[in-house]
Structure 1
């Protein structure tokens, strides 16, 4: 797939509406638009979360980014989905609708694992539940189409990202179609979508029809397959058979006939010599991987597992190929993943003029998700763990994107100076994993060519740099900032990496733990850990030994 080469995130010529300047908050009502002197919005973002102008919340991050490019961005946060008129509140967007369920999948947000309705919603004022519909992306997309059917519709966020191909839906206990089909959206942006959404906005502003925007990385769309060479996914990743579990009480003749038998029923080698002939690899720019169709994965668990594996194999931005999956009479096309942001791009993104508080229209309501993170700082994105039960790698990618030390320390000072209620404690310096800051492959060429789903399983790759020195230096400078009493680390710890840098464990135990450190060994037995692609319990034991030792050296009793 000949996807466009990435352009520096802030290198575009600003849209003409930049003359209106920076909004104190992105408008959520017509009255707020009038105060800004706007007659219309260029882009309207619809989200299932209450609007909090803070970089930890997707609608604010994307909204402020688009604003920095000169676009007038309005936000419909938690619109009354059963009232069509609420989607007319900001008028007709000039360029496109941007729809997301919010920071969480709407079904996970509303239901427990027992499929019982939750009594609260951490992303709503005062934790009130029921302010977003089930499968919110689908519901919101339908309302946007009803309001202004001619306006391009772009969907994104974690709910859309993880449902970009045919997927198993726990709540209905069946395989569902790609959310692209159910929403009839023009484009789906997946993963960290800053590059894609900025490129889409500028192309639409330049007059390019949405139907011609088909070559942007990190996007998915419905299109006919023309002038491309198809590669059958089963030609390089053969699906296995799903055999019934062998009966341990079966009689000997039955066991000998089993597929795993070493008796007479075992497969034999007939001595035939297999001749291998080199094949010319198809041109990546004109080839696409054909995955099993929605109908096939719905009917065959082995093909479903195979399709999921292909999605993970094609996740490295350096070598991933385009994917296509048939849904009835149409093809869902998935372009290669986005190129990760550079450190200067990450810095500029997180240094945009966020108010860092909820929108004033929420009054004095407490929004639990904000209360939890308002004194925290994101220092990195991504995770190269590739754990089989986790969606972080699938959504954010496995290449770690880190901010600079200067940018992080500057945000801590902003929290100290601007965030109401700050008492001197930073609740977290972290990200998806606390201790992957600035960790990367030692050789960028190897990283770009790598096809492994994990850099740390079954063991830490020899090509992975594991030096925690930059993170230790960051911690020391952060806790030396005047007015800051304590810097806590609340993000998850990858302890198999931590034991490679005892000095980081020492810093963590003696300065960044408040008596209890929560980590997740997941299990104690090798078999479940292997299936989860997690390190053995020995790594946990070694980490605990070091943590206890350094805690004792500091005279702390910690657990």
Structure 2
């Protein structure tokens, strides 16, 4: 039975006094996040909190709780009636804490004052343990990017080890993976019924979309007697043969995209069970989520500015999902490849509210999403039967339909909202889609570029690009010509900002030199160069761990510090070149490795590849240097701070 919606507060309560002011004697749900509280739809915990309030559940928020010592911050508002939801925040906590070369970060854009240190390493695990200490027996649901990508066995770059599902380390009741509005509401409703009618928590979990939880093997047929089951390789099988991680990853990708089967993974004497992701929010329901009365500003308790809040103050998030399926990116695994778009009317209503928001200066800084120009895209085929790992590579699928002209029409409509002076697209542009309609691309270049267009060719080697599931380099070259032509027609001096990557599995020092030669030939010094990080759950991480491509062929892997630094310095700045010089003296880490069983004969530089040593627990990196952008405008959830989505 549906509950009566509650009146939305100015802010979700963070203290007992704020609860009292709302007339709430207790909470139904407690949400815990590693971010500061910014009441904006680009921040996951506030968005879910307002969604629950809209459905009648009194929801409070604990932001960046102290984790050393007692659990007083968790207990401040009392025991919630139903459950606690835990997220590490908008960024994986390990990505938030370490640079691409294992240096501890001093900044955190999601923290007041922008200083690091307000959240722990592996925050999802730490926070879950604090909740269990404060409220023994309370169901704990993990969510957000950190937990979602660790829902099954995964390679952990920071400890250089294969780890089990985060469920077991956190001792959580479940993980709500992906975009969790449907799952979190179903969990609240199920536990509500359980309180009234009795039953078992396992009965509730079995009926949730997008949930991961643990069962004994003999419980599976009892809970899912008619289920069509997709079985991933066991944790122990992957530990014994790293190539099995590729099998597990590709199976998990299919599970998310086809959205029809139950998936299970044996792990010790338990099964990790994953229900299908479910349909997610779309249409009027997605519009309703973004129509909730977000204040679009930090909670008034903060005295210092929160950099991420400033970054997204003037932005509009218009769709979810990414059809690209790039092998290094977590976005398709987290949000799915199906594009779910808001209506034009919904976007225009939010633009009008933005005009009235405190501090709005007339500039809409971004109208975009995981990739700027996928708004309105749809699949005309049967996604449940689709076997493709990407809708866009090696070529754009014939069933993938997107109207680039309609996207530019939307930009023009936003620009006509009274009080809006200019509109920019700061999210990354997907070049192959843009080139499919050069007339629409020309309109976007001439009016909505803001001087820079962010795109992600990633590499110059087509062999490496195929491993990345990226379009061939010729697409970037063609895009440059069209961009320069249209900028000239507009009489504007505008620039393309290319995002590039070093040390990707299969990439050699020679590949990097050839890429540097191409850019040098154009008189170009790119400064957005990322050193590859194998993010949990991705196909690229599986290749890195296995030492092979997705088909099982051996790859060179630049896993040693010295080799990674050398590759990065080819395109990096002076600081990186100095680091590379330092790296040459690191005798404890080899120049790279080949796959098990591959040739270990001397390479061109006379060295012999060997397995790099474990790093003794030192932290590894974020996936892109720079500052994090908003959730919808970067692959920060998926590729690390400062990385724009899906170009």
> Could you state the TM-score of these two structures normalised by the residue count of structure 1?
0.85
State whether structure 2 residue 211 is matched by structure 1 residue 219. yes
Aligned 8 A contact 1:228 1:288 in 2: no
- Paired position in structure 2 for 1:40: 26
Q: 1:527 aligns with which of 440, 443, 463?
A: 463
State whether structure 2 residue 123 is matched by structure 1 residue 136. yes
Deviation at 1:313, TM superposition (A): 1.8
Higher relative contact order (CA 8 A, sep 6+): 2
Q: Where do 1:406-485 residues align within 5 Å? A: 406-418=345-357, 420-443=358-381, 446-485=382-421
SS in 1 for 2:257: coil
For residues 29 and 227 of structure 1, what CA distance do their matches in structure 2 show?
A: 41
Deviation at 1:422, TM superposition (A): 1.3
Aligned 8 A contact 2:258 2:386 in 1: no
- Paired position in structure 1 for 2:429: 493
SS in 1 for 2:18: helix
Q: Where do 1:148-187 residues align within 5 Å? A: 148-187=135-174
Aligned 8 A contact 1:191 1:338 in 2: no
Q: Where do 1:293-308 residues align within 5 Å? A: 293-308=234-249
> Are the structure 2 counterparts of residues 422 and 314 from structure 1 closer, same or farther at C-alpha, using a change threshold of 3 Å?
same
SS in 1 for 2:217: coil
Q: 2:101 aligns with which of 103, 114, 130?
A: 114
Deviations 1:300-334 (A, max 9, x none): 1111111111111222244x421111221111111
Unpaired runs of at least 5, structure 2: 496-647
Q: 1:93 aligns with which of 72, 80, 85?
A: 80
Aligned 8 A contact 2:429 2:453 in 1: no
- Paired position in structure 2 for 1:395: 334
For residues 110 and 125 of structure 2, what CA distance do their matches in structure 1 show?
A: 19
- Paired position in structure 2 for 1:361: 301
Aligned 8 A contact 2:258 2:385 in 1: no
The farther-off stretch of 145-154 and 395-404 is 145-154
Deviation at 1:227, TM superposition (A): 7.5
For residues 166 and 478 of structure 2, what CA distance do their matches in structure 1 show?
A: 44
SS in 2 for 1:478: helix
Deviations 1:135-154 (A, max 9, x none): 00100000100111121111
Q: Where do 1:275-314 residues align within 5 Å? A: 285-314=226-255
Deviation at 1:466, TM superposition (A): 3.2
> Are the structure 2 counterparts of residues 22 and 227 from structure 1 closer, same or farther at C-alpha, using a change threshold of 3 Å?
closer
State whether structure 2 residue 150 is matched by structure 1 residue 210. no
The farther-off stretch of 529-538 and 321-330 is 321-330
State whether structure 2 residue 262 is matched by structure 1 residue 322. yes
Unpaired runs of at least 5, structure 1: 1-11, 231-282
Aligned 8 A contact 2:217 2:271 in 1: yes
For residues 31 and 228 of structure 1, what CA distance do their matches in structure 2 show?
A: 45
Aligned 8 A contact 2:29 2:81 in 1: yes
For residues 269 and 384 of structure 2, what CA distance do their matches in structure 1 show?
A: 35
Deviation at 1:116, TM superposition (A): 1.7
Deviation at 1:284, TM superposition (A): 10
- Paired position in structure 2 for 1:348: 288
The number of aligned residues is: 488
For residues 434 and 88 of structure 1, what CA distance do their matches in structure 2 show?
A: 41
Aligned 8 A contact 2:296 2:313 in 1: yes
SS in 1 for 2:137: coil
